[in-house]
Structure 1
Amino acid sequence: MGHHHAHSNHHHSHADLKGRNLVISIFLNLLITVSQVVGGIISGSLSLLSDALHNFSDVLSLIISYIATILSRKEASANKTFGYKRAEIIAAFVNSSTLIIVAIILIKEAIERFLAPEEIESDLVIWLSLLGIVANGFSVLLLKKDSESNMNMKSAYLHLLTDMMASVAVLIGGLLMKYFQWFWVDPLLTLAIALYLIYMGWALLRDSTRVLMLFTPGSIEVRDIVDAIKKIKAVKNVHHVHIWQLNEDEVHLEAHIDFVNDIKLSEFDIILEEIEEELYHHHGINHVNIQPEFGKCDSKQIIVQD
């Protein structure tokens, strides 16, 4: 028994809007990637090629996010009782991982270019970086709202946001190379972009890993929940507690409760409703599964390794 707050029609129309925004962003980033690869080869700009590499990772991450959005709409079945609710979390994990992998590749390339600097055709760098700023800026605006409440969309949004900032950095570098011949700025900006990717990707990688590993959400204190349930007069002990996050909308709790007396099932239902209200309103837990016990000989530890 648990709380369910579903609005299926609204959910599907919102998912359709998310999907449309992702498709637009995919095509925009394909355009930027092809343009920057050609421009980077012609101009010899490492920062432009690194920006193109990141843009290509954007395309892949957006495709992954789009597939996850489609899968998350699928209904549960007998052999998939949770449906595909974890799809968007997996997408967030993959996308945050690729952010960090791309960053490591860029750091390696930047160090090599520092050791062997090359002259760069700056005019092409300037115009293509402007294209990246405009296209990525538009994509960022499309995904911003959904990124605030959805880990999958946040991972796609971060890819685009960091790429827009990278294009700004490339533009600045192109101007400095054009007017001051500071060609060392190119690998320096590449290194700065890479470090920023690691900074942005790490938090999302950590958060998505916590969900996939079934860790207790960081905002929840297990001891506080146990103490709250034990305040109910009929409850003797709360043990064997598991709390995990299925996705960004659902937090689950299962626990064994030892009762003072051998109560009726109808009495248990009343107590269960009280527990559900407490957990939902004060701890954000919306799916509760309680195993009632009386005089059972088992471990009474709060946390039990199954």
Structure 2
Amino acid sequence: MSEHHHHELSGKKLFITIILNIIITLSQVVGGIFSGSLALLSDAMHNFSDVLALLIAYVANRLAARPNSEAKTFGYKRAEILAALFNASVLIGIAIFLIIEAFHKLYHPEVINSIWVIGLGTLSIVLNAASVLLIQDDAHDNMNIKAAYLHLLTDVVTSVAVVGGGLLMYYFGLFWIDPLISALIALYLIWASFGLIRESSAILMQFTPKGIDVDAVADTIEEETEIKNVHHIHIWKLDEKHIHLEAHLDFHENVTLLVSTAVIQKLEKKLYNDFHIVHTTFQCEYERDDNKEKIIQKSEEHKHG
């Protein structure tokens, strides 16, 4: 199967999955309003978070094919990160509102039409399970689709909890179960959204990627006999999967461009194999009087460039 065909297939499956989750979300919103069930509304918001996650994956799938340009030399690599940050922030706001409403309902329980809860919860389980099966194969090869796949799996679990609560309300009249389930789902939304905010913010702030040891990277570079010192190191993620590195290389001798190019080519291969660094920019130096620290402080960085 060609890569182009794989992109089209993934896009088509994602689109169908998005439609299924929009159906779930809208039906649960309507059902939550008519039944008075806050748990259904909370599950609807959880499904809505999946719609957003799937849309991000779908848009990223389409944008990935767009070439870079003079105006956009990195293309649209961070569009997904910006969207994830915005969506997670909105979802935290929604979740806080749901928790406040859940506490209100715990103190003032209301009779809920549990048939709606059971029926629409079951519909959510069936459609989410279908969505999981639909994108299961593509989740192995694409990080965006894998994230959406994991979202859908958790949706199945929360919908099972909603149906369980509906059954307890129907048979035993335990209506306080509804706001309790709602609060638990909302808390999960906050937990998942905070994780997404932390990850996307770290990428946008160009923090050193998690799991990358700067000292280990420096040691790997300095294993090359031609290199005396590596300093002024910056390591960051362009997007979710592309790690970039820039640094100054201080050579022992005034080597030719041919020698320095050979050294850099060896480094690129080692850094990719050991740290999954896909892009490097090295400034080669010899007997330059500058700060040789691995990480340069802001004032010094401005001074030396």
1:167 counterpart residue number: 159
Relative to the length of structure 2, the TM-score reads 0.89
Unaligned runs of 5+ in 1: 1-8
Aligned partner of residue 236 in structure 2, secondary structure: strand
Deviation digits for residues 82-105 of structure 1 (CA, Å, limit 9, x no counterpart): 111222333333344344333222
- Amino acid in structure 1 at the alignment position of 2:248: H
Q: 1:83 aligns with which of 66, 75, 84?
A: 75
When structure 1 is superposed on structure 2, of 25-34 and 152-161 the one drifting more is 152-161
Q: 1:260 aligns with which of 243, 252, 265?
A: 252
Tell me if structure 2 keeps the 8 A contact 1:69–1:88: no
- Amino acid in structure 2 at the alignment position of 1:212: L
Q: 1:53 aligns with which of 39, 45, 48?
A: 45
Aligned partner of residue 224 in structure 2, secondary structure: coil
When structure 1 is superposed on structure 2, of 272-281 and 157-166 the one drifting more is 157-166
Q: In structure 1, how many angstroms separate the alpha carbons of the residues matched to 2:264 and 2:117?
A: 64
2:111 counterpart residue number: 119
When structure 1 is superposed on structure 2, of 32-41 and 21-30 the one drifting more is 32-41
Give percent identity, aligned residues only.
51
Q: In structure 1, how many angstroms separate the alpha carbons of the residues matched to 2:135 and 2:197?
A: 19
Tell me if structure 1 keeps the 8 A contact 2:85–2:200: yes
Q: In structure 1, how many angstroms separate the alpha carbons of the residues matched to 2:290 and 2:103?
A: 60
2:262 counterpart residue number: 270
Q: In structure 2, how many angstroms separate the alpha carbons of the residues matched to 1:181 and 1:112?
A: 18
Matches within 5 A, 1:168-183: 168-183=160-175
Matches within 5 A, 1:145-224: 145-147=137-139, 150-224=142-216
1:138 counterpart residue number: 130
Deviation for aligned residue 1:285: 1.3
Q: In structure 2, how many angstroms separate the alpha carbons of the residues matched to 1:93 and 1:143?
A: 24
Aligned partner of residue 277 in structure 2, secondary structure: coil
When structure 1 is superposed on structure 2, of 267-276 and 51-60 the one drifting more is 51-60
- Amino acid in structure 1 at the alignment position of 2:243: V
Q: Which runs of 4+ in 1 moved over 4 A?
A: 144-151
Deviation digits for residues 199-227 of structure 1 (CA, Å, limit 9, x no counterpart): 33333332222222211111211111112
Q: In structure 2, how many angstroms separate the alpha carbons of the residues matched to 1:60 and 1:288?
A: 33
Unaligned runs of 5+ in 2: none
Q: How many residues in Structure 1 have an aligned counterpart in Structure 2? A: 298
Tell me if structure 1 keeps the 8 A contact 2:231–2:248: yes
2:20 counterpart residue number: 28
- Amino acid in structure 2 at the alignment position of 1:291: Q
Q: 2:57 aligns with which of 61, 65, 76?
A: 65
Deviation digits for residues 137-186 of structure 1 (CA, Å, limit 9, x no counterpart): 22133344555665533553354333322211110011001111100000
Q: In structure 2, how many angstroms separate the alpha carbons of the residues matched to 1:284 and 1:61?
A: 25
Cα distance 1:285–1:53, how it changes in 2: closer, same or farther (>3 A)?
closer
Relative to the length of structure 1, the TM-score reads 0.88
Cα distance 1:276–1:61, how it changes in 2: closer, same or farther (>3 A)?
closer
CA RMSD of aligned residues (A): 2.2
Q: In structure 2, how many angstroms separate the alpha carbons of the residues matched to 1:83 and 1:142?
A: 29
Cα distance 1:34–1:103, how it changes in 2: closer, same or farther (>3 A)?
same
Q: In structure 2, how many angstroms separate the alpha carbons of the residues matched to 1:224 and 1:180?
A: 61
Cα distance 1:245–1:53, how it changes in 2: closer, same or farther (>3 A)?
closer
When structure 1 is superposed on structure 2, of 99-108 and 154-163 the one drifting more is 154-163
